[in-house]
Amino acid sequence: MVREPKRFCTDDFDYEYPKEAIAQRPLADRSASRLLALNRHSGAIDHTTFRTFAELPDPGDVLVTNVSRVVPARLTGKRDNGRDAEILLVHAEADGTWTCLAHPGGKLKVGRKVYFGEDTTAEIVAVLGGGLRRVRFSGALDAGELMEEYGAVPLPPYISRAPDDADTERYQTVYARENGSVAAPTAGLHFTEEILSRLEDRGVEITEVTLHVGPGTFKPVRDNDPSRHEMHAEWYSVSREAAETVNETKAEGRRVWAIGTTSARVLETVGATGVLREDSGWTNLFVLPPYEFKMVDAMLTNFHLPRSTLMMLVAALGGHEHIMNAYREAVERGYRLYSYGDAMAIV
């Protein structure tokens, strides 16, 4: 008799933690974060620091990084009544409008305007699903110039402080270069140039993809049937060089490491047949257990919000029971959580 795989509900991905466990600021040294290493087959856990990460991949393994760069997409302007309004730019549309999140959402209906200084206006031209709006800018500044003049680093909602100058550098990986994300691919925040050099000296290959992270990364799964959750689409790109590197690694039986859930989603989107190809487009891939990974063998990730799509993805790779045990142990041992928090390697 063949046993049907377990169907998980959203409650299965919940866990308790003290509010003070949420890292509000980065450590002075990127690589000083703690690292929990989880064996996804046995469930065995080791505790170390990120400075030792370069010893985990074997020579010949390949690390796939996401080189998307966070842009200062959080814009604060004024409504007609002089009160503040906030627009979080998500991505540009072909017709020159921008998809965004807007606050206060209930006040910013179609036709309402937000003013930036005396010479630039954002008009709400459409209300979309999932809390999204579409805006059209008019006046002296385009969207890029607006971000430069009025933009701020879009820190996650669980960081209860305003962004400061330090966030401009630290909420960014050292290898980021492709503008487009409104949230950092946080697994990469721990890397320093020294650790990247050490990996390469050990014969570990490093290649890259791009996925521009949208605000949906923080969107909780509300329905207790996670299969009903609607993912926000995010733009990705895979180069020919990256595809060839990953395919060669897989063919030779070496491991492919996804550096973060964003890299994992790109690899699994484009490599669904077991072969990666040069490609770009939009993905709304939602990975939850049970799921058979075609490309990813190991992953570096941070600790994620309970009941989130990111939590479900790591549980699909690490095993639900192993991941939940690891999270409980991390909380008990005082690990720092979320974007500026500590790291987990699933190996």
Distance, in Å, from the CA atom of 69 to the CA atom of 109, rounded to the nearest integer, reads: 30
Asked if 196 contacts 31 with a C-beta cutoff of 8 angstroms, the reply is: no
Q: What is the pLDDT of residues 67-98, one digit of tens each?
A: 999 999 999 999 999 999 999 999 999 999 99
Would you tell me how many other CB atoms lie within 10 Å of the CB of residue 139?
14
Domain boundaries, the chain: 10-70+167-346, 74-152
The predicted pLDDT at position 218 comes to 77
The token duo for 288 is 């939850």
| Token pair 């390949």 in the structure block, residue | 62
Distance, in Å, from the CA atom of 132 to the CA atom of 93, rounded to the nearest integer, reads: 13
The predicted pLDDT at position 310 comes to 96
Would you tell me how many other CB atoms lie within 10 Å of the CB of residue 136?
16
Distance, in Å, from the CA atom of 51 to the CA atom of 36, rounded to the nearest integer, reads: 12
Asked if 47 contacts 333 with a C-beta cutoff of 8 angstroms, the reply is: yes
Asked if 62 contacts 71 with a C-beta cutoff of 8 angstroms, the reply is: no
DSSP 46-59: EEEEGGGGGGSSPT
pTM over 0.85: yes
* Domain 10-70+167-346 CATH superfamily: QueA-like (3.40.1780.10)
The predicted pLDDT at position 106 comes to 82
Pairing assessment for the beta strands 34-38 and 343-346 based on DSSP bridges: parallel
With respect to CATH, is domain 74-152 assigned 3.30.70.100? Answer: no
The predicted pLDDT at position 219 comes to 80
Asked if 13 contacts 307 with a C-beta cutoff of 8 angstroms, the reply is: yes
The token duo for 90 is 């998500």
Backbone angles phi, psi at 344, to 5 degrees: -130, 135
Distances (CA, A) of 242 to 58, 99, 239, 298: 19, 29, 5, 17
The predicted pLDDT at position 5 comes to 67
Question: pLDDT under 70 in the chain at which residues?
Answer: 1-5
**3-state SS, residue 326:** helix
Tell me 12's DSSP state.
Answer: G
Q: What is the pLDDT of residues 198-234, one digit of tens each?
A: 999 999 999 999 999 998 887 889 999 999 998 889 9
The token duo for 210 is 């791009």
